[in-house]
Copies of this chain bind each other. A is one copy, B any other.
Amino acid sequence: MGIHEVAKRAKVSTATVSRTLNKPETVDPETAKRVWKAVKELQYLPNTTARSLVSGSTRILGLIVSDITNPFFPEVVMGLEDVAIREGYEILISSTNYDLARMAVCVRRMLERKVDGVAIMTSELEKHLIDELDRRNVPMVFMDVGPVTANISNVRIDYGQGINEAVQHLLALGHRRIGFLSGPLDLKSARIRRTAFLRGLARFGVIEDERLVQAGNHKIDGGLQAMTHLLALAEPPTAVLASNDLTAFGAMRAVRLASLRVPEDVSIIGFDDIQLAEFTEPPLTTVRLPRRVLAERAFEALATHINAKKAGTPTRGAEYVVGTELVVRGSTAVMRERR
């Protein structure tokens, strides 16, 4: 089960076996044929561990997320897995559970396993830990959570694009009082979304009313609560954007609990376009964040860094952008006269 057995059986040296496997052009076709035959017969599979030891490259990519249980992440994971295996990489996933101590564990795991690069998509990233990775020269890419730095790339999400479409959509339907249900504002990603939303409204000259912005927690119950607040206003909004789809789900529920209807009484737009968005009642109009593309860009960024590092010409961090777009479904409708 080693390269040695193959060599013996093919009556060549181990070096030749290694060569036929890795640099086929440098070996005589006839010899190669014998080697391949032996490989097949022995069902030989190269030992990745040994390979890594000598090459200095594990061909493992780390992915740090907050919580794999969040419906947002699995699709990113799958996207990354797809592109990674195509290029001969494996993905090592680790979850921080929104916990800083656990984040430290994640980083340590990455370091011990000597991953070739790390993609980071968590809310709670401590500079301290990032620096540790940086100091050890591990290529990194942030997925919408960090700044571009000397060595670190970032895949930025262009929230503005989708949000503009969403606002225009509501405007076209006659809505003027538009609310926003943000995520938890201690999370940077949530703040970014909130800013993008406010900017989007401003761009179209919609009067900004602070009371129309409520904070949720990016989960269903938070959306429900936040929306309930909005509904209790003297002049409640006729349409609402949510910072993510789960929040929108909660909002829809709040509307229903208030004996109102979506979209007849209140239009609701979500964000992310998770799989379930298509299947709520009514189906959720939402801004799609193409997570597969996000994953692909992240891989691209990492691959660039890794290759540059291998070639001895370290690249500076770069910024990649992923757009967003409105997906119109059933939770938005023409504004009705006030009840």
| A residues in contact (CB < 8 Å) with B | 45-50, 52-53, 58, 67-69, 71, 73-75, 77-78, 81, 85, 90-95, 105, 108-109, 111-114, 220-221, 249-250, 252-253, 256, 275-276, 279, 281
A85 to B113, CA, bound (A): 12
Can you pick out 5 interface pairs between chain A and chain B where the beta carbons lie within 8 Å of each other? A49-B49, A77-B93, A78-B95, A90-B113, A250-B279
Contacting pair B58 A69 (CB below 8 A): no
Number of copies: 2
Q: Which residues of B contact A85 (CB under 8 A)?
A: 94, 105, 109
Q: Which residues of B contact A50 (CB under 8 A)?
A: 53
Q: Which residues of B contact A108 (CB under 8 A)?
A: 45
Q: Is the interface of A mostly helix, strand, loop or mixed?
A: helix
Contacting pair B113 A48 (CB below 8 A): yes
Closest-by-CB residue of B relative to A221 is: B279
Q: Which 5 A-B pairs have the closest CB atoms?
A: A220-B279, A49-B52, A69-B74, A68-B74, A48-B112
A339 CB, nearest partner CB in chain B, Å: 21
Q: Which residues of B contact A112 (CB under 8 A)?
A: 45-46, 48
Closest-by-CB residue of B relative to A223 is: B279
A58 to B49, CA, bound (A): 8
Closest-by-CB residue of B relative to A253 is: B281
A68 to B74, CA, bound (A): 6
Contacting pair B68 A77 (CB below 8 A): yes
Contacting pair A276 B275 (CB below 8 A): no
Contacting pair A93 B81 (CB below 8 A): yes
A113 to B85, CA, bound (A): 12
Given A68-B77, A71-B71, A252-B281, 10 additional A-B pairs, CB 8 A: A48-B112, A48-B113, A68-B74, A68-B81, A81-B93, A81-B95, A90-B92, A90-B109, A221-B279, A256-B281
